[in-house]
A and B are shown apart, each in its own frame.
Chain A
Amino acid sequence: MKRACHRLAETGYDEPVMAMLEVEIWRGGEDGAWRSYAVPHQANQTVLDVVTHVQRHIDPSLAYRFACRVGMCGSCAMTVNGRPRWTCRTHVSQAARKGRVRIGPLRNLPVIRDLAVDMAPFFEKWRDAEARFVPSKEPPEEPVRPDEPERRAADAGIECINCAVCYAACDSVAWNPDYPGPAVLNRLWTLVNDRRDGDRDGHLDAAGAGCHLCRSHQECADACPTGLNPTAAIAGLKREVFRRALSGGARGPRQ
């Protein structure tokens, strides 16, 4: 360990080493275990930097995912000291408790190995809800103004990076495997508010069964790295789905 950190050039950092961090990382699949590593703590070091240090200097067999490192791609989400976070934009100084960092895979998704989870269930729910833009046959009669209420409601939820942090934070997802999760419902809410979309009723029907399983814990809104509020979006869906049911239009979820 000493060999890995006493020469700055070897670590690839140009910041001075401040201290050693006690890092625990989940190794193995669902039946794996925590393993400890000592990693040099640097100024402005992110949790992803820590994981990368372990993989490059201590154990090359560590499995984890990242791509952009600037909070755009949504691939580096992990559980850091019990909280789901985007690791590339989470500084160690924010997340560490008494110099200790425990990094595990995301909750609510099957662990493939180490820090890599199988994202398939997350995206399958997305696909099943057909939470995607459906172009309308005709352009909207009125031009869409950026400051109109519907557009503002859609814009409020549009910066989702599909990182599944909200999905991991959500107890409703943990309790009910049929619950689509905050990200999918948030996306449906942006579509419901998009006047250019041609299938508003279809989106509401897709949300109908699932959105009422939300218990408004707001864990998703607390955890969302881009500051979205899926709970508010889901509350909006509940309202519109109810209104549609009252008017006798609901058809149940799309098959």
Chain B
Amino acid sequence: MRRGPWWAFLLHRLSGVALAVFLPFHFLVLGLAVERAALDGVLDWTENPWVKLAEAGLVVLLALHLTGGLRLLLLEFGRWSDRQQSRIAVAGGLALLAGFGFLAAAFA
């Protein structure tokens, strides 16, 4: 019988953990920029549509964590509002929109 705010918490926590796990790989690829050839190899690999799809997932995670974090800041530092469900819906909607936006740009 979990409701919106509980799922919002879970998604925020999971997206945070997933991003923390992703970050070292991101830095690894950035580190490869020093050796041009290796970086070009990675960049070629990211042209694969499946990789683009996975990147869209990353964008959604990032956007979810961002909008969820803003929602929490608003909850804890702003005046209390009874419209928490609406805020959660907006936060989730914006995150999905960011993901679709990324896909649209990637496959345009």
Where the two chains meet, the residues of A that have a C-beta atom closer than 8 Å to any C-beta of B are 82-83, 171, 215-219, 222, 229, 231-232, 235-236, 238-239, 242
Contacts and interface: CB of A to CB of B under 8 A. Distances in A.
Contacts of A239: 76-77
A176 to B, nearest CB: 14
A217 B9 contact: yes
27 contacts: A82-B1, A83-B1, A171-B6, A215-B9, A216-B5, A216-B9, A216-B72, A216-B75, A216-B76, A217-B5, A217-B6, A217-B9, A218-B3, A218-B5, A218-B84, A219-B3, A222-B3, A229-B80, A231-B5, A232-B80, A235-B75, A235-B76, A235-B80, A236-B80, A238-B76, A239-B77, A242-B77
A215 B75 CA distance: 11
* Complex A-B, nearest 5 residue pairs according to Cβ-Cβ distance, in ascending order: A232-B80, A218-B5, A217-B6, A238-B76, A215-B9
Contacts of B3: 218-219, 222
A238 B77 CA distance: 8
A73 B10 CA distance: 35
Contacts of B9: 215-217
A104 to B, nearest CB: 14
Interface in B52-85: 72, 75-77, 80, 84
A215 B6 CA distance: 8
Q: Is the interface of A mostly helix, strand, loop or mixed?
A: helix
Given A83-B1, A216-B72, 5 more contacts: A218-B3, A218-B6, A219-B3, A229-B80, A239-B77
Interface in B1-26: 1, 3, 5-6, 9
Nearest to A172: B9
Nearest to A83: B1
Nearest to B74: A235
B4 to A, nearest CB: 8
A217 B9 CA distance: 7
Contacts of A218: 3, 5-6, 84
Contacts of A171: 6
Nearest to B85: A218
Contacts of A242: 77
Contacts of B72: 216
B10 to A, nearest CB: 9
Contacts of A82: 1
Contacts of A231: 5
A216 B72 CA distance: 9
A82 B6 CA distance: 16
A235 B3 CA distance: 19
Interface in B79-108: 80, 84
Contacts of B75: 216, 235
A215 to B, nearest CB: 5
A105 B44 CA distance: 60
Contacts of A236: 80
Nearest to A212: B76
B3 to A, nearest CB: 6
A218 B1 CA distance: 12
